Every structure is written in structure tokens, then in C-alpha cells.
Amino acid sequence: MNQFTAMVKARTMEFVRDRATFFWNLLFPILLVFGFSFAFSGNQDTLFKVGEWGTPSGADPFRDFHTIEEIDFISYGKDQSLDELLKKLRMHQLDLVVDYRDKQISYNEESVNAPILQRLYSAELKGSGWKEESVQGAPIRYVDWLVPGVIGMNMLFSCLFGVGFVIVRYRKNGVLKRLKATPVTAMGFVSAQMVSRFIIVLLTSVFVFLGTNLFLHFMMLGSYFNLILLTMLAILCMLSLGLIFAARFKSEELASGILNLISFPMMIFSGVFFSLEGTPPIIQSLSKIFPLTHFIEGARAVMLEGAGLVQILPQIGILGAMTVGFLLAAAFLFQWD
């Protein structure tokens, strides 16, 4: 057994035998996914959502509808294309789309709400020259949308604490010093830690996904290959981020405080639990500095929109660049003691 595999093995055994931590790492995300799935399983969204594209030229045939409080009208025009609106329609984020420019209404055949709205609108449009079109698309449940977020969040904590915190603990209790007294290099030690944690986090993520998928049958429009690729890159990126914090700190309390300080905003502002769409632009820009945001965006695109490798290239590029940056910073900062 060479130095490297021996260290990977020792670190992995340490993790697996620490039963409490091991089960918590598996159980926590599973509980979260099921918890949220249960909490949001009811069809609470009784409101109709109508997306309007452009403005009416001349009299608005649907003017009267605007007084109905149960219908939520959302106006689009400048920032979004009609295609994007239709995408939302297919994903059941809208129940009906009114295109004032081409005088056409579109509805989702598979939506529960669509038939009622469609009849209302059709009745109004008889003989007016407006066209009707139907689109298809299964609904996205909250849990489908949530699962990449929860797995990403679990990855985040497992990577940051599993590398950052553990190396600080080794430094404090003298394990690092003992290793420094052997021919092991800092690079060899750190990469062994990373490889061990990489395997653990990847397996945990796959296990959590497959385990919850057995019961919840997530929507998966893209390829598992792309999803795994993105996951592996995101794990690497977050491990590298963790390494920066592992580089110098000597106190576990300080390391833990700082890791929490960055992981909590990341959890909140990376769109794990709620969409950042509609939040102030500053939050949206802020979210871009977090690797988690890019993983979640990419994973949602693969799962819910069937994005291929080309569509997720921006996320892959950003995660890759961040990984390199973090690794360089960590290598520059690292000290044994």
C-alpha cells in the first residue's frame, strides 16, 4: 500500500466508524427531502396564474378578467422572451399565457387549472380572430425542484466541515505535527484527505438521491451522466473551498464559526429552498459568488429542463474556474502548524 492510498483508507475508516457523524450525514438530507415533500404536498396553490406577454393594442378583450382576484396576472415583456413564458407554462409555473402581440392564448393540457381558464378565455374570444394553442408538460412538484438544492446543501456542509474542520482539528491535536515528522508531504496529505472526502460525499449524494427517488420519483428530463459530472465538479469545488479554511486556522471553534459564517448565507442565498427569481438584483448578484448556486442551477436545468452538456457549460466552466482558484489559494496559504 503506498502512502497515498494508506492515508485515504485511514481517513475513510475514521469517517465510516464514527457512526454518529456517518448516519447524520446520510439521514439529515433524507429527512429534509421527505419533510419538505410532505409539507408542500397539498395543492395549496388555488390561485390561477396568467402570464401576459406584451400589451393589448386597442381594447383588451380580457379586461373584465383583471377584476377577478383569484387570478394572478403577471406581465412580461422587456426581460423575457415568449419562449421563456411558454417554458414556465410547460412547467406549470403558469396556468395560461396570453400573447397580445400575436393574439394567441396558450395553455398546458396537463395542468389541473387550465381547463377552467381555457373555457373562460375561449368564451370571450369567439369570432375575434384570436388563436388557441396547447402545450404539454408534466407538473414540477416542489420536491423535484428542491432535491438538487438539498443534495447540494448536504454536499456543501460535508465538504466544508469534512475537510476544513477536520484538518484544523488534526492541526490542533497534533496529528498534523506527527505526520510532518514523517516523509509525507503536505500535498500528499491534503490530496488524500480530499480524495477520501470526495468518495464519501459522492456516494452519500448518490445514495440520498436514489433512496428518496424510490419513493418520490423525481422528474428527470436530462441525462444522469451530466448530473453526475456536475455533482463531481461541485464536490471538488466545495472541497477546495474548505481547504482554504483548513490552511491556517489552529482553533476548532474559530474554524467552525467561520465555516458557519460562510455556509449559512450560501445555503440561504443559493436558492436551495426558494427561487431567487424576484429577489432584489443585489441578492441575485451576490448569489453568483457561491459555488452552490451554480451547482443548483445546473442540476435543476438538467433534471427539470432536460439541459444537455452544452446548456450547462456555463455552470461547469464557473465551477471549474472556482475550483482552480480555491486550490491555488489553499496551496499558497497552507501551513502544517
Question: Where does this chain bind another protein (CB under 8 A)?
Answer: 1-3, 5-7, 9-11, 13-14, 17-18, 170, 173-175, 177-178, 180-184
Nearer to another protein, 173 or 251 (CB): 173
- CA 144 to CA 299: how far, in whole Å? 11
- CA 227 to CA 308: how far, in whole Å? 10
How buried is 13 (Cβ within 10 angstroms: 0-12 exposed, 13-18 middle, 19+ buried)? exposed
Nearer to another protein, 3 or 284 (CB): 3
Please count the CA atoms within 13 angstroms of the CA of 180 that sit on its side-chain side.
10
Nearer to another protein, 6 or 27 (CB): 6
- Smallest gap from residue 200 Cβ to another protein (A): 14
- Smallest gap from residue 185 Cβ to another protein (A): 10
Q: Are 240 and 162 in contact (CB under 8 A)?
A: no
- In single-letter form, the type of residue at position 170 comes to Y
Nearer to another protein, 55 or 173 (CB): 173
Nearer to another protein, 181 or 210 (CB): 181
Q: Are 337 and 176 in contact (CB under 8 A)?
A: yes
Nearer to another protein, 25 or 106 (CB): 25
- Smallest gap from residue 4 Cβ to another protein (A): 8
- CA 145 to CA 300: how far, in whole Å? 7
Q: In the chain, which residue ranges form alpha helices assigned H by DSSP? A: 3-17, 19-39, 82-90, 114-125, 142-159, 166-173, 175-180, 186-216, 224-246, 252-269, 281-287, 291-305, 313-333
Q: What are the phi and psi torsion angles at 47 (to 5°)?
A: -70, 145
Q: How does DSSP classify residue 39? A: H
Nearer to another protein, 2 or 43 (CB): 2
Nearer to another protein, 130 or 170 (CB): 170
- Smallest gap from residue 315 Cβ to another protein (A): 36
- Smallest gap from residue 168 Cβ to another protein (A): 13
Q: How does DSSP classify residue 141? A: P
Kindly state the cell numbers that stand for 74. 403577471
- Smallest gap from residue 176 Cβ to another protein (A): 9
- Smallest gap from residue 247 Cβ to another protein (A): 18
- Smallest gap from residue 30 Cβ to another protein (A): 23
Q: Which helix (H) or strand (E) holds 132?
A: strand 131-135
- Smallest gap from residue 228 Cβ to another protein (A): 29
Q: Are 106 and 135 in contact (CB under 8 A)?
A: yes
Burial per residue of 54-76, b for 16 or more beta-carbon CB atoms within 10 angstroms, e otherwise? eeeeeeebbeebeeeeebeeeeb
Neighbour count for residue 264 (Cβ, 10 Å):
10
Nearer to another protein, 5 or 136 (CB): 5
